[in-house]
Structure 1
Amino acid sequence: MPRPKSLKSTIPGIGRILRHFMPQIAKEKHLLVLSLLALVAETAMRLLEPWPLKFIFDRVILPGFNVHSLGIEALEGWSPTAVLTLLALSLVAISALRGAAAYGSTVGMAVAATRIMADIRGRLYSHIQRLSLSFHTKAKSGDLITRVTYDIERLREVTVVAALPLLTNTFTLVGMLVVMFVLNVELALIAVMVLPLFALSTMKMSTKIQTVARRQRKREGAMAASAAEAIAAIKVVQALGLQDMLENSFASHNKKSLEESAEAQKLRAGQERLVEVLVAIATSLVLWRGVQLTLQGSVTPGDLLVFITYLKVAFKPMRQLAKYTGQIAKATASGERVIDILDTVPEVRNLRGAMDALPFQGDIQFDRVSFGYGEESGILNNISFAIKPGQRIALVGPSGGGKSTLVSLLMRFYDPTAGSIRIDGNDIRAYTLDSLRNQISIVLQESVLFATSVRDNIAYGLAGATDEAIEVAARLANAHDFIMALPQGYDTVLSERGNTLSGGQRQRIAIARAAIRNAPIIILDEPTTGLDNESDRLVSDALERLTQNKTTLLISHDLRSAETADEIFYLEQGSILERGSHSALMQRNDKYARLYSLQSSPQPASESSSSVSPSAYALIS
């Protein structure tokens, strides 16, 4: 990561964040204006606070008290005690008004910030959901989760905890400097002469803090990604005994993150102490010269008191800036991380003029389609075929042959690098993504269930699905009976990914989710792999009903499940080497026939499998 050259490098980041989130900020403009007015009122009260003390010193304590010297005709005839009482009460009133204004500005800003960040978080989450698979295959899920949660919270927190106090005290600094110059130019110049020293030290130190903050945020994202990856694969971790290795790796990153955090704290602490020394120097010089001027009669003791009080308060923004520089730098880094995601344009998206697809008939055409991931080439090479509505097509062949890529292109998870794919005669890129994918149902080898009720998991297949439709879909999938045997039936809440259910049960709920959509095109990707005989029978029976009269693409290594297909495509190295019915391919006696014979031949129990090993494919090549 490049090292920022100066504190100015933070300002473009803040400007970029404000510009990017201006639509969300604009929604809260009324509340923000009210908060700003309260902030101005608070600043005004801060400016008034020392003035009752000035009058007490100059007009009450000193000899020669005269009500007229106060310049307030309404107090004519008042005794010194009455005036003193009034001024003392005014201190309380000013303090109370300042507190009320501060409360209003803080609460208003906090509410506005919370609403804005909630809106941004929702926008970020929605955007991540719609980014192409090519992005998600490269991104780390833990890092994305960190951006949605921690980075957004950091922006909200700093807005209230750091930015608002800094803004308040900056207003106060400007106001007090104006008043000080009005009271005495010489003392005011002495007070501000430390500002260049402060600016130079702050710029230098803040650059270091910002560098450390960005490095730490990047490391924290990497740590979150590693932890999420390990937890998601906990079975593999425990089976392979990887706990110690992963713990050591995590501990190393954690230690470096702590060291960077300590370094940032050390830098902030050093900056705060430097500011305190500079403020002390300015105060001492003002006091030294101010007393001389007071003795000469150029300024009054009350004027000097105002100066000293203002110095204590007016330079508070410097201490605040020193204190919150690290937080602001972290927030800027977090904001930029969020914007980096929001600025990522999905490779696959609705094209200009895309239309909602009419109900599909199920006619599919691939016309000289080629595809490669990133810089790779040859995943699919010049693929052409046509599928009639209601046909059942089986895609077989060795792993890496392009079977899953082919159906991914049909669903527009990716776009082909050459050629076109048409459904019912129209290029699928002419359809909106939602209207395309809503008419395609897919059942995967390991279908993902969500940590919600069984009813909701099935209903995810169709927005607004009724309870009756959910039950019909479950019966079609041979799932109703085992669902009713669960503790709360359809309202039973599943564990994460449905791990409390058997593989066959999970698959039947996934089939019900696909069935409720009643899509004209069905994709089955190894739907029975790894199931026991009874589960295989129930799932296969459910799939038979699901695909009735639907255009179906079946990916399978088990060639027995491909026998009944209307046509079989044998894919290898990105090309369709053979195609035809089971009987036609067997008569051809080439790759498919040899593979089928090899798979159907008796094998020892320890070696039998519904799928084919890579070595088996090597034998038939």
Structure 2
Amino acid sequence: MGHPQKLQEIMPSFWQILQRFWPYIQKQQALAIGSLLALLAEVGLRLLEPWPLKFVFDRVVDPTGEASGIPLIDNLAPTTLLWLSALGLVLVTGLRSLAAYGSTVGFALTGTRVLTEVRNDLYRHLQSLSLSFHTKAKGGELTIRVISDIGLLKDVVVTAFLPLLGNVLILVGMVALMFWLHLELMLLALLTVPLFYIATARLSSQIRDVSRKQRQREGAMAATAAESIGAIKIVKTLSLEETFAQTFSGQSHKSLKDGVKAKRLEASLERTVDLLIAIATAIVLGRGAQLVLNNALTPGDLLVFLSYLKNAFKPVKDFAKYTGRLAKGTAAGERIIDLLDQKPEVQDLPGAKPAPQFQGYVQFENITFAYEPGHPTLKDIDFSVAPGQQVALVGHSGSGKSTLTSLILRLYDPDRGCILIDGYDIREYTAVSLRAQISVVLQESLLFAGSIWENIAYGSPNATPEQIITAAKIANAHDFIQNLPQGYDTVVGERGVTLSGGQRQRIAIARAAVRQAPILILDEPTTGLDQENEQVVVEALERLAWGKTTFIIAHDLYLAARADLILYIENGCILERGTHQELMQANGRYAELYNLQAAQRDLNNRQEATHVTR
């Protein structure tokens, strides 16, 4: 008793979770109110359950006993009262069971609906977070939060918190009735409350800490598993299976130790509570029996009091039983709220409007950007691109080329300066409408698990079958797709592992082509391809880029040399700009790098020719 306060201490954030989710609960207001009424009915009927037994002990077992003070009962014959009491016991218990069923199912349905909606919103929120968040976060841990943490919180609400809520109401009612039945016995029962407080305070805090640590370890395990499985080819190539297995095993072993420790603490708390309940019952039974022998209390009153005492301690027992679950649920809720509290660094500004159809005139005006304060990745970038022009971004790795194109997509916002499309700051438009008019082909041609048809259609979900086939033809993909066992309905593995690199890249090009966007970004689209596939992909890219404002990030300067404008970027600054001929005449960094690549290419060709001759 006195444990509602302790409940708040054990679940310091549970109320914050309820408050945070209150708007979701309000949507299920009718169901929640109906479940609450059923719960109150169950509490009232549970309070009535012992009274038929009181009448049997006081008026049937001992017919000469003290009258109940209720004329309707006192005037009944003992046999009649016995059968009525038995019938009343069955009726009250049956109605209580029906009310308990209604409240349990109703609250379970409420919790399931609420937390399902929370999960959906959490996933949407996760998708809306900026790229800077996702580059630092671990994918496996985020998956645990969306799937496992919500599931655990739902389980805790349905199987632990709501039953405890009912028991607390029962506790309040029974304590009030025990005070009314006999003040002295009630005060004796309260003697054990300080012991309850001391026992639960120490053990419950330890259970909460261990449970929170266990959830963190489970998140680390998920991150390790997701990382190794996602890069399984590299893991096998480098023979890292045992390394990752040992890391996972170590985390799993620590999680196991935490789980066992939590179970031991829960068991210790439950057994301690059992012992204290037995002590309180023994004290009340001893003193109550003396009062009965002295005719200061009827046997029925003692029976009702002991019944109430047993049920009044039930919330304490349940609290001990569910402390581990509640602690895990609290830890899960804290992690969910932590994720919901993350704010996207890139958001639509107030008053942002859908972008009109772009012509493709792009301007960078004095752009400076840094991932970390004080360490700029781009510095004072200033250039413009006419509609339909092709711009090549060249330079060593890490110079800021990919960052520059990420700013066009508003994956990040610049720290200073602005990017204009057709004369308007791109921040004036909604991010969705901006990105809808930009096609991207990345170095890693990522495909999703699904059919080839679906993977191409991701570029434009409303594309017609004719548009998808036309896009595949532009990408030089139609012929090889037709030769696959199920053609366009062929299902590719996750990340497209069932296709070759060249095939994956051509499907990625088709996905960009079906978008029919006026602006195109090509980020190292031919890297890692053999000569034959590279030629096919370059032909597809040329068709794709026709008439579009195109940004090409390329280490292969033979691909960059075809561009209308070449920007040589180093340490975040544009060191050289111009056409291929202009830069070669300037004999600067670009010319030096181009000549180096040309010499290497000639050497490779001679070696290949020598090999063929032999």
- TM-score grouping bracket, smaller chain normalisation: over 0.9
Structure 1 match to 2:234:
236
Secondary structure at 2:514's aligned position in 1?
helix
Q: String of CA shifts for 1:564-601, please: whole Å, max 9, x gaps.
A: 21111111111111111111111222221222122122
Structure 2 match to 1:613:
none
- 1:356-435 to structure 2, matched below 5 A, reads 356-375=354-373, 377-435=375-433
Instruction: Give how far 1:538 is off.
Output: 2.2
Structure 2 match to 1:449:
447
267, 270, 277: which one aligns with 1:269: 267
252, 255, 263: which one aligns with 1:254: 252
* Distance (Å, rounded) in 2 between the aligned partners of 1:176 and 1:20: 32
Asked if structure 2 preserves the Cα contact closer than 8 Å seen for 1:7 and 1:204, the reply is no
Instruction: Give how far 1:10 is off.
Output: 4.4
Structure 1 match to 2:24:
24
When residues 389 and 607 of structure 1 are mapped into structure 2, their CA distance, relative to the original with a 3 A threshold, is farther
416, 434, 440: which one aligns with 1:436: 434
When residues 347 and 40 of structure 1 are mapped into structure 2, their CA distance, relative to the original with a 3 A threshold, is same
Instruction: Give how far 1:175 is off.
Output: 0.8
* Distance (Å, rounded) in 2 between the aligned partners of 1:49 and 1:74: 17
Letter of the 1:73 counterpart: L
* Distance (Å, rounded) in 2 between the aligned partners of 1:239 and 1:484: 32
1:142 aligns with 2:135: no
314, 320, 323: which one aligns with 1:322: 320
Q: String of CA shifts for 1:88-147, please: whole Å, max 9, x gaps.
A: 122121111111111111111111111111111111111111111111111111110000
Structure 2 match to 1:73:
72
Structure 2, gaps ≥5 residues long: 1-5, 609-614
Secondary structure at 2:460's aligned position in 1?
coil
- 1:206-221 to structure 2, matched below 5 A, reads 206-221=204-219
Structure 2 match to 1:185:
183
Is 368-377 or 355-364 further displaced after alignment?
368-377
Asked if structure 2 preserves the Cα contact closer than 8 Å seen for 1:38 and 1:105, the reply is yes
* Distance (Å, rounded) in 1 between the aligned partners of 2:9 and 2:68: 53
Structure 2 match to 1:309:
307
* Distance (Å, rounded) in 2 between the aligned partners of 1:541 and 1:20: 54
Structure 2 match to 1:508:
506
Q: String of CA shifts for 1:457-501, please: whole Å, max 9, x gaps.
A: 111111322222222222222222222222322222221011101
* Distance (Å, rounded) in 2 between the aligned partners of 1:70 and 1:483: 91
Letter of the 2:30 counterpart: H
474, 479, 482: which one aligns with 2:480: 482
* Distance (Å, rounded) in 2 between the aligned partners of 1:523 and 1:28: 46
Cα RMSD after superposing both structures? 1.8
When residues 7 and 33 of structure 1 are mapped into structure 2, their CA distance, relative to the original with a 3 A threshold, is closer
Asked if structure 1 preserves the Cα contact closer than 8 Å seen for 2:214 and 2:255, the reply is yes
1:39 aligns with 2:39: yes
Q: String of CA shifts for 1:142-199, please: whole Å, max 9, x gaps.
A: 1100000111011100001101111111111111111111111111111222222212
Asked if structure 2 preserves the Cα contact closer than 8 Å seen for 1:7 and 1:206, the reply is no
Q: String of CA shifts for 1:207-262, please: whole Å, max 9, x gaps.
A: 11111111111111111111111111212222222222222222222111111111
Secondary structure at 2:492's aligned position in 1?
coil
* Distance (Å, rounded) in 1 between the aligned partners of 2:481 and 2:546: 24
* Distance (Å, rounded) in 2 between the aligned partners of 1:167 and 1:486: 60
Secondary structure at 2:520's aligned position in 1?
strand
* Distance (Å, rounded) in 1 between the aligned partners of 2:464 and 2:197: 66
Structure 1 match to 2:612:
none
Per the normalisation by structure 2, the TM-score is 0.95
Letter of the 1:599 counterpart: Q
Secondary structure at 2:577's aligned position in 1?
strand
Structure 2 match to 1:492:
490
* Distance (Å, rounded) in 2 between the aligned partners of 1:158 and 1:596: 64
Letter of the 1:366 counterpart: F
Is 353-362 or 82-91 further displaced after alignment?
82-91
1:15 aligns with 2:15: yes
Secondary structure at 1:517's aligned position in 2?
coil
Secondary structure at 2:371's aligned position in 1?
coil
- 1:524-603 to structure 2, matched below 5 A, reads 524-601=522-599, 602-603=602-603
Percent of paired sites with the same residue: 55
- 1:85-100 to structure 2, matched below 5 A, reads 85-100=83-98
Secondary structure at 1:379's aligned position in 2?
strand
* Distance (Å, rounded) in 2 between the aligned partners of 1:427 and 1:10: 51
* Distance (Å, rounded) in 2 between the aligned partners of 1:64 and 1:75: 11
Structure 1 match to 2:348:
350
Secondary structure at 1:346's aligned position in 2?
coil
Secondary structure at 1:373's aligned position in 2?
strand
Structure 2 match to 1:57:
57
* Distance (Å, rounded) in 2 between the aligned partners of 1:374 and 1:119: 35
Asked if structure 1 preserves the Cα contact closer than 8 Å seen for 2:391 and 2:567, the reply is yes
Letter of the 1:157 counterpart: D
* Distance (Å, rounded) in 2 between the aligned partners of 1:42 and 1:239: 63
Asked if structure 1 preserves the Cα contact closer than 8 Å seen for 2:459 and 2:511, the reply is yes
Runs ≥4 in structure 1, deviation > 4 angstroms? 6-11, 605-608
Q: String of CA shifts for 1:264-304, please: whole Å, max 9, x gaps.
A: 11111111111111111110011101011111111100000
Letter of the 1:561 counterpart: L
* Distance (Å, rounded) in 1 between the aligned partners of 2:188 and 2:486: 77
Instruction: Give how far 1:203 is off.
Output: 1.9
Structure 1, gaps ≥5 residues long: 1-5, 609-621
Letter of the 2:336 counterpart: V
Structure 1 match to 2:276:
278
* Distance (Å, rounded) in 1 between the aligned partners of 2:415 and 2:498: 42
Asked if structure 1 preserves the Cα contact closer than 8 Å seen for 2:63 and 2:78, the reply is no
When residues 9 and 431 of structure 1 are mapped into structure 2, their CA distance, relative to the original with a 3 A threshold, is farther
Asked if structure 1 preserves the Cα contact closer than 8 Å seen for 2:11 and 2:327, the reply is no
Instruction: Give how far 1:71 is off.
Output: 2.2
Structure 1 match to 2:611:
none
Asked if structure 2 preserves the Cα contact closer than 8 Å seen for 1:395 and 1:569, the reply is yes
Secondary structure at 1:501's aligned position in 2?
coil
- How many aligned positions are there? 601
Instruction: Give how far 1:64 is off.
Output: 3.1
* Distance (Å, rounded) in 2 between the aligned partners of 1:576 and 1:459: 37
Secondary structure at 1:306's aligned position in 2?
helix
Structure 2 match to 1:175:
173
Asked if structure 1 preserves the Cα contact closer than 8 Å seen for 2:11 and 2:326, the reply is no
Structure 2 match to 1:118:
116
* Distance (Å, rounded) in 1 between the aligned partners of 2:9 and 2:431: 40
Q: String of CA shifts for 1:387-430, please: whole Å, max 9, x gaps.
A: 01110011111111111111011111111122111111111111
Asked if structure 2 preserves the Cα contact closer than 8 Å seen for 1:7 and 1:203, the reply is no
Secondary structure at 1:414's aligned position in 2?
coil
Asked if structure 1 preserves the Cα contact closer than 8 Å seen for 2:73 and 2:81, the reply is no
Q: String of CA shifts for 1:55-76, please: whole Å, max 9, x gaps.
A: 111011103389x857253895
When residues 571 and 248 of structure 1 are mapped into structure 2, their CA distance, relative to the original with a 3 A threshold, is same
